[in-house]
Homo-oligomer: A and B are copies of this chain.
Amino acid sequence: MTSPTLSCVACGETTSEWSSARCDCGEPRWVDVDVAGFDWDNVTDAPGMWRYESLLPVDRPGSLGDVAGDTPLVRTPRLDDVAGARIHVKNEAANATGSFKDRGSAVGIAWALEHGVDTVGTVSHGNMAMSMAAHAATVDLDCLVLVPADIPAERLGNIAQYGPTLLRVDGDYGKLYDRSLELGEEAGIEFVNSDAPLRVEGQKTTALEICEAFAAEGAQPPDAIVLPVSSGGHASGAWKAVRELHRAGAIDSLPRLYFVQAAACAPIAEAFERGDDEVTPVAAGETIAYSIANANPPSGNRVLAAARETGGAVLAVSDDAIRTAQREFATRAGLSVETSSATTLAGTKRLAESGAIENDDEVVLVATGSGFKERGSGETPDVETVKLDELGAVLGVER
């Protein structure tokens, strides 16, 4: 199996030598994809996201990886009023490990199988760790998961259930991210970290599916796609996806890409606000949206470019706004989303208030992960107790 070339969209450097490491200029590389001949009419009927196999650098891996993606796009009219636009939700919780991370993990696993790598790895304390561990387990690959030393026990349990090799690492999380890529190359471990080229390839399929769903209705892409943003790996994938579709002529215009952070840890939103081209790391504050609290996002500069070049934005929302939005997802769309995902609705409200998003805009919120994995956040409601033989009276049909 030959490897595709890699390019740096920031400095223009191209290399045919495969590496998961970053470009010498410091930015993450993208896998070069030949879009010639791509058309909505010639996607395959393969399962999951593998209908876009022609735009991916690997073939489907068998087992769990085969069913990554192909998540529902739900029209949610009861969110329209609170959001200020016509809302659709891309429900990534439908993936086997409950988040969008399965898309990138499936590509990473397929790559490892095709290239004879017997150990994969990742640096994560949540969704990505669960996803890599699960996917490795299904094809009997070893999986090394490096977690921060202070990870809560409950999240460790979520990851451990799939049986990976777990290691707590005491040190700066951003440095661990970079160091893992170096050590992985030496140790023969394919680290499929959050903005690794292979992961971005998988994660671009979220936006491919969104655009295809609109195309199937005879429509152009939605006016806007709204994503939570942490490392910037999913954002990078979304931007790459719409660029490739546009280059192939499958869409006439690019949807505006909006990215939302939690206010307590919003280095990309702050850089966007300042008009900077580069993100400056911050000291992270506490937020309920812990899974996107990335103080030094490795693809942060890519996110700034994606927002500016598509006419979108990067913004931050408060924990109170996130809590309200999470409740609205449940009580108006029937979706239990994780706190990070709730930022998309909170952010859309802000954008609608400012006029950046209009009432008749078709807006897709990407609900990146399931709320079922976040424990202990719900309050216990106070519920009345009645005796069975009094139930009729309570319902007003007998005395």
Contact = CB atoms under 8 A, between A and B. Distances in A.
Contacts of A117: none
Contacts of A98: 336, 370, 372
A381 B47 CA distance: 35
Given A167-B394, A187-B395, A333 B138 contact: yes
A72 B97 contact: no
Interface string A159-180: 0111100111111100110011
A33 interface: no
Interface in A52-77: 62-64, 66-67, 70, 72-77
A392 interface: yes
A172 B387 CA distance: 10
A37 interface: no
A41 interface: no
A62 B75 contact: yes
A383 B331 contact: no
A243 interface: no
Contact of A78 (B47, B140, B146, B372): B140
Interface stretch (A149-157, A234-242, A250-258): A149-157
A26 interface: no
B334 A97 contact: yes
Contacts of A381: 156-157, 160, 166
Q: How many copies does the complex hold?
A: 2
A388 B63 contact: no
A153 B380 contact: yes
Contacts of A139: 78
A385 interface: yes
- Most chain B beta carbons < 10 A, residue from A67, A95, A135: A67
Contact of A63 (B66, B77, B153): B77
Given A162-B330, A330-B162, A388-B179, A67 B62 contact: no
A334 B78 contact: no
Contact of A388 (B94, B156, B172): B172
Nearest to A336: B161
A391 B169 contact: yes
Interface in A180-233: 180, 183, 186-187, 189
Given A157-B381, A378-B161, A381-B160, A78 B137 contact: yes
A275 interface: no
- Most chain B beta carbons < 10 A, residue from A72, A97, A139, A378: A72
Nearest to A91: B96
Contacts of A66: 74-75
Contacts of A162: 330-331, 334, 336
A226 B133 CA distance: 26
A103 B298 CA distance: 41
Interface string A321-355: 00000010011111110000000000000000000
Nearest to A333: B138
A162 B332 CA distance: 8
A147 B238 CA distance: 43
B388 A330 contact: no
Contacts of A397: 183, 186-187
B168 A134 contact: no
A168 B385 contact: yes
6 contacts: A76-B138, A137-B332, A157-B378, A168-B384, A172-B388, A180-B391
| Shortest Cβ-Cβ A-B pairs, 3 listed | A171-B388, A134-B334, A67-B72
Given A161-B378, A179-B388, 18 more contacts: A63-B76, A66-B75, A67-B72, A67-B91, A70-B72, A97-B334, A134-B330, A137-B331, A137-B334, A160-B383, A161-B331, A161-B336, A167-B383, A169-B386, A176-B388, A187-B396, A187-B397, A370-B370
